[in-house]
Amino acid sequence: MGQHAQSNHMPPQMEIPGYVRIRSHNTSNSQFRNLFLAQELVGGKQPEPGYAGSAPQTAIGSKMSSGGDATIWAAEFSPSGRYLAVAGKDRSIKLFKVISTEEERLAQQRCENGTILGSKSLSAPVFLSRPYREFKGHSAEILTLSWSKNDFLLSGSTDKTVRLWHPSQPTCLRVFQHDRTVTSVAFHPTDDRFFLSGSFDAILRLWDITRTSIIHSSPMAGIITAVAFSPDGKVAICGSFDGIYHGFL
């Protein structure tokens, strides 16, 4: 009896991941080998404690349903690599913290599987599944995000404002009022006292955060849809709805 039971015993096995097929263009070797879905995060409303339905998973191939207001318009990694900011239709910003220690990884796996042993899924989480912060303050959809080198975060919204946040603080630090929907924001790459904003009012603005004031503005011919700095911060670029890029030194 004991030998029979032992022969039928199957040790826990991980599920074979569903690898993503990669096509190489203009190169002989693929730069992304063995690419697979490691984790899915809920971008909309989080399940309530004790919720019996689907929950965030890292199981390969699992799909999540997160409600009708879960559309994501912006997602940005912080330059430090510690956080992922996600925002969109639900008017909030969720900060997901990147797993940085083995203890955090084991705790995350226990949270997902109930226990580490016996899990059949290949779990390779990158983030803690529960948001580290959830910033609220915007009254309408959030369209754009930008991080500074020191982990300050800007968010632009259809509520005609840009808001300033930091992971160490639970509430908004500054509000920058605009006349129309804000479509794009960009922190200065070397001096996070300054940022660019673009808006439906077709005005490119350079802001001083410490004074909460505009230090330069330039009218464009059409709605501004994108703004950016060069890596050294010496050139500012904006793109407009009419398909024209404008550069400023």
56 contacts 40 by C-beta, under 8 angstroms: yes
C-alpha Rg value of the chain to the nearest Å:
22
Whole-number average pLDDT of the chain: 79
Q: Tell me what percent of the residues of the chain surpass a pLDDT of 90.
A: 53
Query: Contact, 90 vs 70, CB < 8 A?
Result: yes
Six-digit token string for 69 = 């207001």
pLDDT recorded at residue 249: 58
At residue 40, the pLDDT reads 72
Residue of 221 and 2 predicted with greater confidence? 221
pLDDT digits (tens, 9 = 90+) for 121-134: 445 677 787 889 99
Does the structure show a pLDDT above 60 at 151?
Answer: yes
Query: Is residue 172 a contact partner of residue 137, using CB atoms and an 8 Å limit?
Result: yes
* pTM beyond cutoff 0.95: no
Question: What's the whole-number mean pLDDT along residues 244-249?
Answer: 74
- CATH code of the domain containing 240: 2.130.10.10
Q: Among the listed ranges 64-73, 99-108, 141-150, which one has the minimum average pLDDT value?
A: 64-73
What's the angle, vertex CA 19, arms to CA 16 and CA 20, rounded to 5?
Answer: 165
d(CA 140, CA 149): 27
**Tens digits of per-residue pLDDT, 190-242?**
999 999 999 999 999 999 999 999 999 999 989 999 999 999 999 999 999 88
* pLDDT mean over 150-165: 98
Task: Please give the structure tokens belonging to residue 68.
Answer: 């009708």
In a domain, 43, yes or no: no
Alpha-carbon distance of 9 to 203, in angstroms, equals 69
Domain membership of residue 204 (yes or no) is: yes
* Mean local confidence (pLDDT), 114-125: 50
The whole-angstrom separation of Cα 117 and Cα 109 is 10
In a domain, 196, yes or no: yes
- The alpha-helical segments, DSSP class H, found in 64-169 are 102-113
Minimum mean pLDDT among 64-68, 103-107, 222-226, 231-235: which range? 64-68
pLDDT band at 79; cut points 50, 70, 90: very high
What residue has token string 């908004």? 172
The parent domain of residue 154 ranges over 65-99+127-248
20 inside domain: no
pLDDT at 66 over 50: no
| CA distances, 209 to each of 156, 172, 193, 243 (Å) | 14, 13, 5, 29
Domain assignment present for residue 94? The answer is yes
**Residue-wise pLDDT tens digits, 27-60:** 665 666 667 666 777 654 444 343 333 444 443 3
Report if residue 224 sits inside a domain.
yes
Residue 58 lies in a domain: no
Tally of structural domains, the chain: 1
CA 99 to chain centre: 15
d(CA 85, CA 145): 8
Residue with tokens 């990669």: 22
**Residue at 5 is within a domain:** no
